[in-house]
Amino acid sequence: MAYSEATVLAGGLVHIPILIGLVGFFQKFHLGITKKTSKTSEALNKSAQPPKPPEKPSSPPKVVKKTAHQNVPVNTYKPKSPFESTVTENYSLLKEGAIGRVNHITFDLSGGNPKLEYIEGQSIGIIPAGEDAKGKPHKIRLYSIASTKYGDNFKKNSVSLCVRQLQYEKDGQTINGVCSTYLCDIKPGEKVKITGPVGKEMLLPDDEDANIIMLATGTGIAPMRAYLRKMFEPTERQKNNWDFKGKAWLFMGAPKTQNLLYDEDFENYKSKFPENFRYTKAISREEKNSKGGRMYIQDRVLENAGELFALIENPKTHIYLCGLKGMEPGIDEAMITAAKAKGLNWSELRPQLKKAGRWHVETY
């Protein structure tokens, strides 16, 4: 899917007045939700101890959005003047027998003026070389960044992506996606036009005690890989001065074991940080759910509903959803059932989590 950065930028700008209005209240309340309306709200706020609101606020908003992350780099390089980077690495993330093609690709960002910097959870735009059928330059495609801001080599001069080649059949022909094929085929040394960074939806909280629940399908693992490196890679921890002490729980969906992405790294984090990291896989074409269908991450969510909702009740818990757009209804359904079992109403709870800046979704 081509995605316009102008849309992202414009979308961000129209929120500025709203955000300015909310900052004052945020300073007073410092809480995601100010008005308790139901058992769901109470559950959400249970362990928070907010300062009392002023007696008669002139027009109290029900919800005060978090205003952290004010210094996030956005659109340093725009489509009209992209950064020309050099590919340093491009290798397959899949094992023998896997379905399709998914690559880890790294670009050198050194030498830019201004420097192209980003933080974990952002995306970059790629302009594929060549022209479309109308002879016009190809449109930008967005990709979630899979590296931390220090980059895979910790030198703060690179960015990595996790790209699945789009392939589908049409009228008996195999169609290859323009940009994903361009990226999967690209060789080290070749130049690539990069824009961005963009996105503030998938940023991590600053809090070292935060709990991070991650729901990923396929390449939706990209931002989660960056989070987990930031949390558990020794050199990363030493550099970033962020001593993660919360609980991180990754639900990862892949069609086959051979399709699991960055699996060895995650197994390694699990063995080194058993108190802080939980890793739950859903291998759709090898495992069956309780109804005999393909095992998806939403089935794993249901299996772990009690523990998950106990975590969600903690105001320091954030949930991140990334990958296939198609998984959203399934996750919602699982959350409805799981919430019900705890006497909670998901349709009430989800918007509250969203407004509190604790429900983060990037699907495509």
59 CA to centre of own chain: 34
Q: Does residue 294 interact with ligand A2P by CB under 6 A?
A: yes
Choose the contact partner of 324 out of ligand A2P, ligand FAD, none; CB within 5 to 8 A by kind: ligand A2P
Nearer to ligand A2P, 278 or 294 (CB): 294
Q: Does residue 142 interact with ligand FAD by CB under 6 A?
A: yes
What's the CA gap between 109 and 286, in Å, rounded? 40
Nearer to ligand A2P, 197 or 218 (CB): 218
Residues 165-204, one symbol each (x = binds ligand FAD by CB under 6 A, - = not), give -x-x-x------xxxxx-----------------------
Tell the burial category of 12 from Cβ atoms under 10 Å away from its Cβ (0-12, 13-18, 19+). middle
5-14 vs 16-29: helix crossing angle, rounded to 10: 50
Choose the contact partner of 315 out of ligand FAD, ligand A2P, none; CB within 5 to 8 A by kind: none
What token pair was written down for 165? 């080649």
Q: Does residue 222 interact with ligand FAD by CB under 6 A?
A: yes
Annotated catalytic residue, options 143, 182, 227, 320: 143
Please report, as residue ranges, which positions from 174 to 203 form the binding site for ligand A2P (by CB under 6 A). none
**254 and 281 in contact (C-beta within 8 Å)?**
yes
Nearer to ligand A2P, 176 or 314 (CB): 176
Nearer to ligand A2P, 112 or 330 (CB): 330
Quick one: which segment of 125-133, 269-277, 310-318, 323-331 binds ligand A2P (CB under 6 A)?
A: 323-331
What's the CA gap between 233 and 147, in Å, rounded? 12
Q: Does residue 219 interact with ligand FAD by CB under 6 A?
A: yes
Choose the contact partner of 327 out of ligand FAD, ligand A2P, none; CB within 5 to 8 A by kind: ligand A2P
Which of 141, 149, 164, 358 contacts ligand A2P by CB under 6 A?
164
Residue 227 known to be catalytic? no
Residue 190 known to be catalytic? no
Q: Least distance to ligand A2P from the beta carbon of 327, Å?
A: 3
Residue 322 known to be catalytic? yes
φ, ψ (nearest 5 deg) of residue 101: -145, 120
Tell the burial category of 74 from Cβ atoms under 10 Å away from its Cβ (0-12, 13-18, 19+). middle
Name the residue among 16, 57, 41 with its Cα closest to residue 355: 41
Quick one: which segment of 67-75, 137-145, 227-235, 296-304 binds ligand FAD (CB under 6 A)?
A: 137-145
Q: Does residue 99 interact with ligand FAD by CB under 6 A?
A: no
Residues that bind ligand FAD (CB under 6 A): 1-3, 123, 141-144, 162-164, 166, 168, 170, 177-181, 219, 222, 362, 364
Q: Which amino acids are annotated catalytic?
A: 143-144, 322, 362, 364
Residues that bind ligand A2P (CB under 6 A): 164, 217-218, 253-255, 259, 284-285, 294, 296-298, 324, 326-327, 330
